[in-house]
Amino acid sequence: MQSTAAYQLVKLANGTHSVHSLAHRETFHPVIGPVAEAEALYVKQLRLPERMAGHSGEFIIWDVGLGAAANVLTVLRSTRDAHCPLRIISFDHTMEPLEFALQNAAALGYFTDYEPAVETFIRDHRATFTDASRSVNWELHLGDFPTLLTSSTAHSLPAPHAILFDAFSPAKNPAMWTQPLFANLFRLLDPARPCALPTYSRSTMLRVSLLLAGFFVGAGHATGEKEETTIAANTLDLISEPLDKKWLQRAHKSTSAEPMWDPLYRQSPLSSDTWEKLQQHPQFK
């Protein structure tokens, strides 16, 4: 087992490796490993190769929780045949997991062909390169993501076509799962640009937060790690299994459905105000 003070490399039951954060006591992709999870949750579910193949102009991805860059590098590798220019905007408040992962590139496996780009990215916080026949522009915004969303910098960023949302779990990383965070994120989308955001959690609290923020929300694909995940989008067209009224009734009875309004983890049933607002959401009309 390789380790620094903050991160360890762990071998999963299926033989693949993943990065473990000692501070959060969480493994980044704990069951099926980083590449299989990124493929199931983001590449296949968002149909990224097909969407990019039919896309003209720049395709823009926001990568929330860059971590060890498994999501970014898996997306790059799986969409290589696309011709449209790709811009990836990564967000994290630390580069340490990526630096650690690069030192363990051989065991992790997913850095192959991209090591020079990652080295440049770590040094300059951006990397521009040609990948097969398309140009890739990858940039980093280093800092607290919830704070960044409220800054003028966030408003100057191009609105995304897809968001990879991969923070630590709500109990360990509540600041990344508050309702105000998702409301601020939704405001930065372009209503004329269809955008979807899959994430690994299927919790009622998360889904209510996304709905109240303005997203349409559906059940997301199984990943092999989770039997169901969540996908949110600014248009129903990008959601194959929208949450329905049965889900709404279950949420009404749930003991953990009220969004976190502050970055403090707690579980509580819906407030009457939230319940009123939920019922007014266009998805349930």
Report which residue type is found at 108. Answer: L
- 274 interacts with ligand SAM by CB under 6 A: no
254: Cβ–Cβ under 8 A, 6 or more apart, which residues? 204, 269, 270
- 170 interacts with ligand SAM by CB under 6 A: no
- Tokens describing residue 259: 């969004």
Nearer to ligand SAM, 7 or 216 (CB): 7
Q: Of the listed pieces 49-57, 85-93, 184-192, 213-221, which binds ligand SAM according to CB under 6 A?
A: 85-93
Report which residue type is found at 168. Answer: F
- Which uninterrupted H or E stretch holds 106? helix 105-108
- Tokens describing residue 206: 């998360």
- 67 interacts with ligand SAM by CB under 6 A: yes
Q: Which of 61, 69, 185, 208 binds ligand SAM (CB under 6 A)?
A: 69
| 8-state DSSP, 283 | G
Q: Which of 61, 68, 233, 278 binds ligand SAM (CB under 6 A)?
A: 68
| Contact between 274 and 262 (Cβ < 8 Å) | no
- 218 interacts with ligand SAM by CB under 6 A: no
Q: Which of 8, 103, 120, 173 binds ligand SAM (CB under 6 A)?
A: 173
- Tokens describing residue 48: 């990224």
- 166 interacts with ligand SAM by CB under 6 A: yes
Q: Which residues of 69-104 are buried (b: 16+ CB within 10 A; e: fewer)?
A: bbbbbbbbbbbeebebebbbbbbbeebbbbebbbeb
Q: Which of 42, 59, 62, 91 binds ligand SAM (CB under 6 A)?
A: 91
User: Looking only at residues 174 through 213 of this chain, which bind ligand SAM when binding is defined by CB under 6 A?
Assistant: 175-176
User: Looking only at residues 108 through 147 of this chain, which bind ligand SAM when binding is defined by CB under 6 A?
Assistant: 144-146
Q: Of the listed pieces 53-61, 87-95, 151-159, 183-191, which binds ligand SAM according to CB under 6 A?
A: 87-95
The C-alpha atoms of residue 258 and residue 272 are separated, in whole angstroms, by 10
> Total residues at the site for ligand SAM (CB under 6 A)?
22
Q: How far is the CB of 248 from ligand SAM (least distance, A)?
A: 30
User: Of 207, 179, 182, 205, whose CA–CA distance to 257 is shortest?
Assistant: 205
- 39 interacts with ligand SAM by CB under 6 A: no
Contact footprint for ligand SAM (CB under 6 A): 28, 34, 65, 67-71, 91-94, 97, 144-146, 166-168, 173, 175-176
